[in-house]
Amino acid sequence: MKKIEDYLARSENQYLKLYDESIKHPEKFWTNIAETFVWKKRWDKVLNFDFDKPEFKWFINGKLNITENCLDRHLSTNPDKTAILFEPNDPNSKSEKISYKQLHSRVCRFANVLKSKNVGKGDRVCIYMPMVPELTVAVLACARIGAVHSVVFAGFSSSALSARINDANCKVLLTADGSYRGSKVIDLISIANDALLECNSIESTIILKRINSNIKLKDNQTWWHDEIAMVSNECEAEEMDSEDMLFILYTSGSTGKPKGMVHTCGGYMIYTAYTFLNVFQYKPNDIYWCTADIGWITGHSYIVYGPLLSGATSVMFEGVPSYPDFSRFWKIVEKHKITHFYTAPTAIRALAKHPVSLVENNDLSSLKVLGSVGEPINEEAWNWYDKNIGKSKCPIVDTWWQTETGGIMLSSLAGVTKDKPTFATVPMIGIQPILLDKDGKEIFENDSEGILAIKFPWPSIARTIYGDHHRYKNVYFSAYPGYYFPGDGALTDINGNFRITGRVDDVVIVSGHNLGTAPIEDAINLHENVVESAVVGYPHDIKGNALRAFVILLNDKLDLDMQKEIKDLISKTIGPIAKPDIIQIVPGLPKTRSGKIMRRILRKIASGEKENFGDISTLLNPEIVDQILLNS
Ligand code: WTA
């Protein structure tokens, strides 16, 4: 059998050579990578694609089960190696090491629980759980039997949860009685129960006892520990087609309801594993920690699948960087001798605000590689990270990618290709990024700025939006036909390194979380005293971006109660992460003659600009700009 190690780039020259092969002969290249995995049946054809339909199929008619590659495969070579290293919220609680053998057994056992609830191949299972090992078990148990997991971040509200359950028609809900986050205990089950009032498709709910509550179970609800006591720990892995659905994960769109991005088995498997090993240059005894939540794509691809496919030790942390104080991350690095630390710029900026003694009191000498993900990292944060955490000796991989891309698309390879502050730098092997100008023409020169697009399919591209292929085509393939359009702007330096400049649509990234402004406006407009609203992002020291809402009221006395009511509405419909920092009452909104809100102007006002609004002559009501400024 071929070994994936033989296809990893260990020097810049090797990267260039592999990149070249992957572009000239993509099918041959990805065949080599796919052959390093366990398949139940080989594929007939590597790739079929059509950007117009759009349709992407990889390893056609190949059969596999991703959990055999994440678990069973390692049992003959390294059964006792730690797969998951769990660090609980409370620093005084014991951490837990789960070996590949133990994880395999727990996954198979829970897979049998799902089967006992009549869950089979293709059925959707919603997972709304804290960052505890059972979350990983739940995800893999679904994959074991071919059920489609839809993980919903446990910070989302009951309405957000029910909307996602209903969109995917989920049969089973997996949740917990509560969760610990810093000094808070979150009543997860009440949120889940509220959501369930709106959901008809859920036949059973299985509840993990995490906070030892004495809740009373409702009809069709059972305890996790009771369920696993009744089944065996042996479970055959279901045979899946390469193009069968592996999971749905929701991401915000610039308009309307969230998009359920669909990922499939074969392509996602090989791409997440290959990028994990190339980008992080993980070696067998390394301890890798990604601080994301499994509720987001970063957790799916680079806590669960990429690392486990690679036989790595992946750390799961239940808590927050500020509890019990702002040295928690560094204490964990010292405690577990972390070698790889992968986090978000917003966390770095928040930590950099605190005395550096909180870092220096800990031994960080185990660290070899640092990573950044989720939003552009500013130079100051990059330098702080490099100097204080990496001690100027750890490469920093700035990884650009999206829920839709499944895996990392642009990044340096740690210690192999050069990093550069604020630049994601180079394309992954097999990836063909290009800048387009406003007319959609390719810009070939380096040192340019434009709209980022991807020219050729890669194995882990999302295949559709669940239940809405039309929207999939519209959002990603219509603006620039023949390309995948991610919605980000970018520039290149003279050497062709890429730097992401930010979103070019109405998605705002707040503390690394994608938020569409439209659903927030919809939530605000639910208030009986609101006529209309517009939400925009503006630069924020720590969060990267914060939100400011401009609100027209029916009766324009905005007291604090009203501010609170609006914020509560947003928390209830979306979740606390979507609350604006500033709510400003305005007499009107700047609108074009066709009635479109000119957000460009609001973004400038929110960023503190007092003049230079460009051409506002096309506004129906140019005088409104001064009126808004007067009160801001
Ligand atoms: C942004 C997160 C700059 C970008 C993996 C993208 C980044 C969106 C970076 C996807 C980065 C992600 N530098 N911007 N290294 N990584 N982004 O779906 O705007 O939660 O389109 O996936 O985050 O966010 P998502």
Tell me what pLDDT residue 408 has.
Answer: 98
With a 6 Å cutoff on the Cβ, whether 401 touches ligand 1 is yes
Quote the ligand 1 centre to 273 CA distance (angstroms): 19
Return the amino acid letter for 455. K
pLDDT, averaged across the chain: 95
Mean pLDDT value of segment 142-160: 96
**pLDDT of residue 563 exceeding 90:** no
Quote the ligand 1 centre to 374 CA distance (angstroms): 4
Tell me the C-alpha distance between 347 and 526, whole Å. Answer: 32
Tell me what pLDDT residue 557 has.
Answer: 66
Tell me what pLDDT residue 152 has.
Answer: 97
Pocket test for ligand 1, best of 372, 422, 509, 515 (most atoms within 8 A of CB): 509
Quote the ligand 1 centre to 437 CA distance (angstroms): 21
Threshold 0.85, pTM exceeds:
yes
With a 6 Å cutoff on the Cβ, whether 508 touches ligand 1 is no
Q: In Å, how far are 506, 546, 582 from 535, measured between CA atoms?
A: 9, 10, 10
Q: In Å, how far are 103, 275, 363 from 294, measured between CA atoms?
A: 17, 18, 27
**What kind of architecture, by CATH, is found in domain 511-630?**
2-Layer Sandwich (3.30)
Where residue 256 falls among pLDDT bands split at 50, 70, 90? low
410 Cα nearest atom in ligand 1:
15
**Residue that the structure tokens 């009543």 belong to:** 187
Strands (E), 3-123: 45-50, 55-60, 63-64, 82-87, 96-99
Burial class (CB in 10 A: 0-12, 13-18, 19+), 164: buried
Tell me what pLDDT residue 538 has.
Answer: 95
Task: Give the residue, by CA position, lying nearest to ligand 1 atom 5.
Answer: 402
Mean pLDDT value of segment 220-241: 98
Where residue 556 falls among pLDDT bands split at 50, 70, 90? low
With a 6 Å cutoff on the Cβ, whether 403 touches ligand 1 is yes
With a 6 Å cutoff on the Cβ, whether 412 touches ligand 1 is no
63-490 adopts what CATH topology?
A: Rossmann fold (3.40.50)
Quote the ligand 1 centre to 489 CA distance (angstroms): 11
With a 6 Å cutoff on the Cβ, whether 373 touches ligand 1 is yes
Quote the ligand 1 centre to 502 CA distance (angstroms): 9
Quote the ligand 1 centre to 373 CA distance (angstroms): 7
Mean pLDDT value of segment 39-63: 98
High-pLDDT (> 70) share of the chain, % = 98
Where residue 558 falls among pLDDT bands split at 50, 70, 90? low
With a 6 Å cutoff on the Cβ, whether 409 touches ligand 1 is no
pLDDT tens readout for residues 607-626: 999 888 877 777 888 889 99
Mean pLDDT value of segment 75-95: 98
Quote the ligand 1 centre to 514 CA distance (angstroms): 8
**pLDDT of residue 87 exceeding 80:** yes
Q: What are phi and psi of 338, to 5 degrees?
A: -65, 135
Tell me what pLDDT residue 559 has.
Answer: 64
Both tokens assigned to 59:
């390893």
Task: Locate the domains of the chain by residue range.
Answer: 63-490, 511-630
Mean pLDDT value of segment 329-345: 97
Tell me the C-alpha distance between 123 and 597, whole Å. Answer: 41
Burial class (CB in 10 A: 0-12, 13-18, 19+), 78: middle
